[in-house]
Amino acid sequence: MYIAPADRSLGEREWRPFLVDHAFGHLIAAGSGRVVPVVVPTQFVVDGERILLHLAAPNPIFAAIAEQDRVVMSVAGDWAYIPSDWKAVEGEDPMLGIPTTYYAAVQIEGTATVLSEPGAVAAVLRAQLADLQPDTPVADPELVHGQRLRAIRGISITMDTVRAKFKYGGNVDVDHRHAVIDRLVSRDGPGDLAAAAHARRREIDTGTPGSGR
């Protein structure tokens, strides 16, 4: 993806919390000689420098990984459409405003290892359960679902390349950015408050004029 200078991530302290909090994405495996890659929507968990997940054994992505073990996990979220007239302030003609979309996106590239041994698959399930429902008691999957574990496969992705984009008005001046933030808060639709929070946070983190408003 293209990342304009104003949208570059502030580093791991920004992209990692987003990835942990938005742990559902698209796993992409190009395979070898395929016309199109295999793309699988999936839940996952971030475990240090690894991404862990599990899928049904017949999933076509396993054939693609066998051909080429380099994969991409693509995650996007906290998006909000910014209408053209929101970009007009201080007497500017709202009909000349330029619409845009605020969003965050993180793409993790790494090497995938397929886990088929029941104990290894169970370890992935334990990690996901501990992350997704830490306060809910659950039986150990290896003890109660032994044979069923053979119907699924775990995947461990070693993260080595990160591309992260946080597109939240960093390319405009403080007046235009704050006008959009105020309207996002007022509209309060899906993603609006998260987008406004990112815009404010990035002002503070980058020392942009108007920080802390």
Summarised one tens digit per residue, pLDDT across range 85-126 is 998 888 888 888 889 999 999 999 999 999 999 999 999 999
- Is 0.75 surpassed by the pTM of this model? yes
Residue 177 contacts residue 169 (beta carbons within 8 Å): yes
Residue 27 contacts residue 189 (beta carbons within 8 Å): no
Question: What pLDDT score was predicted for residue 74?
Answer: 98
Question: What pLDDT score was predicted for residue 210?
Answer: 53
Opening angle at CA 133, ends 130 and 196, nearest 5 = 105
Segments making up each domain of the chain, as ranges: 5-79+101-170
CATH fold, domain 5-79+101-170, is: Pnp Oxidase; Chain A (2.30.110)
Q: In angstroms, rounded to a whole number, what is the distance separating the alpha carbons of residues 37 and 50?
A: 22
Alpha carbon 61 to chain centroid distance?
A: 20
Question: What pLDDT score was predicted for residue 66?
Answer: 97
Count CB neighbours of 167 within 10 A.
20
Opening angle at CA 171, ends 169 and 173, nearest 5 = 85
Exposure of 39 in the CB half-sphere (CA atoms within 13 A): 7
Question: What pLDDT score was predicted for residue 211?
Answer: 47
Question: What pLDDT score was predicted for residue 208?
Answer: 64
Residue owning tokens 């993260």: 159
Residue 173 contacts residue 64 (beta carbons within 8 Å): no
CA distances from 68 to 63, 103, 200 (A): 9, 30, 41
- Per-residue pLDDT 10s for the chain (213 aa) are 999 999 999 999 999 999 999 999 999 999 998 999 999 999 999 999 999 999 999 999 999 999 999 999 999 999 999 999 998 888 888 888 889 999 999 999 999 999 999 999 999 999 999 999 999 988 887 777 777 888 999 999 999 999 999 999 999 999 999 999 999 999 999 999 999 999 999 998 776 655 444
Residue 180 contacts residue 121 (beta carbons within 8 Å): no
Question: What pLDDT score was predicted for residue 88?
Answer: 84
| Length of the chain, in residues | 213
